[in-house]
């Protein structure tokens, strides 16, 4: 489960605007983690966040949990309660085979792996999994520097409910509304419709035109 920021105090667009130049943090980046792309792999790499993007997880008991499982962390056993975002499996089934799908979470591997083994036990949907150790830590926040993938970034997108995660590759980032428990949420269906329009080589242009993240950054206050 990811560390939760206080949204009233943390402005992701302001954070991105104040990020140090990439050249100053490049040496902190983890090494390329994924194996080379296979010849027959889909041309576009789709990177998906986990918590509050595809699921909501908590160690507190919740009504109507879709999954419950134990996780041992630092010699303590936690019972994790999971709600799956509405239309999750419809979304995954529609994009299956259309993209090289990478699950990239800032959460701890021990928890995320257990959850993914239940959501996708046969590796049908997610081709690769990346965890907190593959993130770039900057000013107390975990960023997902897409260079860690070793992929052509003109053919790569990251979907994340925390926009600061794609702070160094803004035109590759698709922000999605955080999800906790709204049963009428349809964001994954809307996301699938947008993804269907993407074409290799023009991914960043399409994302920039649709989501206008650069405009939100420009409008943000320059002082944190």
Give catalytic residues, as residue numbers.
49, 51
How big is the CA angle at 40 (ends 36 and 43), to the nearest 5 degrees? Answer: 75
* 32-35: long-range contacts, CB 8 A cutoff, minimum separation 24: 32/147, 32/148, 32/149, 32/150, 33/128, 33/130, 33/134, 33/148, 33/149, 33/150, 34/102, 34/128, 34/130, 34/148, 34/149, 34/150, 34/151
Contact indicator for 81, 62 with CB cutoff of 8 Å:
yes
CA distance 190 to 172: 18
Helices (H) and strands (E) in the chain, counts: 7, 10
CA distance 207 to 175: 10
Could you write out the three-class secondary structure of 68-112? Answer: EEEEEECCEEEEEEEEECCCHHHHHHHHCCCCEEEEECCCCHHHH
């Amino acid at each position: 489960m990811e560390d939760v920021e206080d949204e009233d105090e943390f402005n992701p667009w302001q954070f991105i605007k104040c990020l140090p130049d990439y050249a100053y943090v490049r040496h902190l980046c983890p090494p390329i983690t994924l194996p080379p792309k296979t010849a027959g792999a889909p041309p576009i790499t789709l990177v998906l966040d986990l918590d509050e993007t595809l699921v909501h997880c908590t160690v507190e008991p919740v009504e109507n949990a879709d999954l419950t499982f134990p996780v041992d962390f630092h010699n303590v056993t936690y019972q994790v309660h999971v709600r799956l975002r509405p239309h999750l499996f419809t979304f995954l089934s529609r994009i299956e085979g259309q993209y090289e799908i990478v699950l990239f979470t800032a959460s701890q591997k021990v928890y995320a792996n257990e959850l993914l083994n239940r959501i996708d036990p046969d590796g049908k949907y997610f081709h690769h999994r990346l965890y907190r150790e593959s993130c770039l830590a900057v000013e107390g926040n975990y960023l997902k520097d897409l260079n860690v993938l070793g992929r052509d970034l003109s053919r790569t997108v990251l979907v994340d409910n925390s926009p600061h995660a794609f702070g160094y590759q803004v035109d590759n980032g698709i922000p999605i509304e955080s999800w906790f428990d709204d049963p009428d949420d349809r964001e994954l269906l809307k996301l699938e419709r947008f993804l269907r329009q993407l074409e290799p080589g023009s991914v960043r242009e399409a994302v920039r035109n649709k989501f206008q993240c650069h405009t939100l950054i420009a409008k943000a206050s320059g002082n944190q």
